[in-house]
Amino acid sequence: MSEAPVTEKKKVIFSAIQPSGTITLGNYLGALQNWVKLQDEYNCIFAVADLHAITVRQEPQHFRRNILEAYALLLACGIDTEKSPFFIQSHVHTHAELAWILNCYTQFGELSRMTQFKDKSQKHADNVNAGLFTYPSLMAADILLYQADLVPVGVDQKQHLELARNIAERFNGIYGNTFRVPDPYIAQVGAKIMSLQDPTRKMSKSDENVNAWVAVLDKPDIIMKKFKRAVTDSEAKICVGEGKDGINNLIGIMSAVTGKTSDEITADFEGKGYGDFKVAVAEAVIEKLRPIQERFDEYIANKDYLTEQYRKSAEFALRISQRTLDKAMKKIGYLAK
Ligand code: TYM
């Protein structure tokens, strides 16, 4: 990996994912699948956001394993470190440093308005820590350090991204141009995969009902079972429509997995029942995930390879991000070392 990719004229993309233990079909279709496609067209930089993950309590042994598994799984999905540096956030110290600085340029009121903070502080009422509150400043630091033009995310992260833009603009307004102001990059299909049990809510691994989400590493029989139990409606018509959240979601998943439009899917299943459709969606998902699961098994068995990849990428990420951090610190008035 040379520095050339980031100095070429291609636009820079940054994105990250938390190592939550269960990377879901929502993560895959809403984010990872797009990351893989973007690698040739852009200068992509990706990370496992393990600093973000301790905003909720982690059990050390599980946490360590989850970080490595998330790393292996993303390689299995098709992230190629030769094209896109892909590192572990806690290995690159500039993230925590810039996050502190940006905290001082982020208002309490702005952070209070974040819907994810409101949701998570309800869900973890016994641990509403300051990190949970300032999480978006760390996310802004992740992005701004690499002068990213675009940030591919699912719809649920859009508000955080808007805040990152506001922080960048505010800082630039005070000190002159320092950070590139990033745009969200939200793909048309898969932008919000909903729960299979309550399709008015996003699919999330923190849902206590395990039938609500499908994990990328779920075995085929589990995937089939979860889809068969998916909540639908009583109309028995496979088409997108108002009040048909369950079917809309299944069509969205089918579309994101196969690349077909919702009209094509409706035509394919003309006259068929929901039972058939659920099985067909499950089969399409199983086939999509099968090669990823196979590659995951290979990567996770090769720890040395994984270590080599994340170390090499972290060195690269540090070089790039240090430049931005130095620039910002100089503008603020810090003494050079
Ligand atoms: P995280 O780890 O919750 O999710 C990773 C990516 O998956 C997307 N996603 C979904 N997309 C569609 N449907 C769903 N049901 C669904 N669930 C999750 C998310 O939008 C995200 O793109 N804070 C971030 C991680 C992060 C980050 C960053 C992202 C840290 N620093 C800098 C971008 C840039 C998070 O918790 O994502």
% residues pLDDT > 90 (the chain): 90
Q: Which atom of ligand 1 is nearest to the CA of 135?
A: 23
Atom 20 of ligand 1: nearest residue by CA position: 154
Name the more confident of 189 and 227: 227
Which of helix, strand or coil describes residue 228?
helix
CA distance 85 to 170: 29
pLDDT above 50 for 2: no
Tell me if 50 CB under 6 Å of ligand 1: no
Residue range 249-308, pLDDT digits in tens: 999 999 999 999 999 999 999 999 999 999 999 999 999 999 999 999 999 999 999 999
% residues pLDDT > 70 (the chain): 98
169 near 156, Cβ under 8 Å?
Answer: no
Alpha carbon distances (Å) from 197 to 176, 224, 314: 49, 14, 39
186 near 157, Cβ under 8 Å?
Answer: no
- Direct distance between the N- and C-terminal alpha carbons of the chain, in angstroms, rounded to an integer: 28
Tell me the CA–centroid distance for residue 32 and ligand 1, in Å: 9
Which string of DSSP letters, residue by residue, matches 122-168? HHTTT---HHHHHHHHHHHHHHHHTT-SEEE--GGGHHHHHHHHHHH
pLDDT above 60 for 186: yes
Tell me the CA–centroid distance for residue 336 and ligand 1, in Å: 35
Tell me if 156 CB under 6 Å of ligand 1: yes
Q: Give the pLDDT band (50/70/90) at residue 68.
A: very high
Atom 1 of ligand 1: nearest residue by CA position: 17
The token duo for 65 is 């394993």
- Active site (catalytic) residues: 120, 202, 205
Most confidently modeled range among 16-25, 29-38, 85-94: 85-94
Tell me the CA–centroid distance for residue 235 and ligand 1, in Å: 33
Residue range 216-252, pLDDT digits in tens: 999 999 999 999 999 999 888 999 999 999 999 999 9
Site to substitute for ligand 1 among 22, 33, 153, most atoms within 8 A of C-beta: 153
CA distance 299 to 293: 10
Q: Give the pLDDT band (50/70/90) at residue 337.
A: confident
Tell me if 195 CB under 6 Å of ligand 1: no
pLDDT for residue 5? 52
Q: What is the pTM of this model?
A: 0.94
pLDDT for residue 6? 52
317 near 47, Cβ under 8 Å?
Answer: yes
E strand or H helix at 12 = strand 12-17
Q: Give the pLDDT band (50/70/90) at residue 195.
A: very high
Which string of DSSP letters, residue by residue, matches 279-302? HHHHHHHHHHHHHHHHHHHHHHT-
pLDDT above 80 for 129: yes
97 near 327, Cβ under 8 Å?
Answer: no
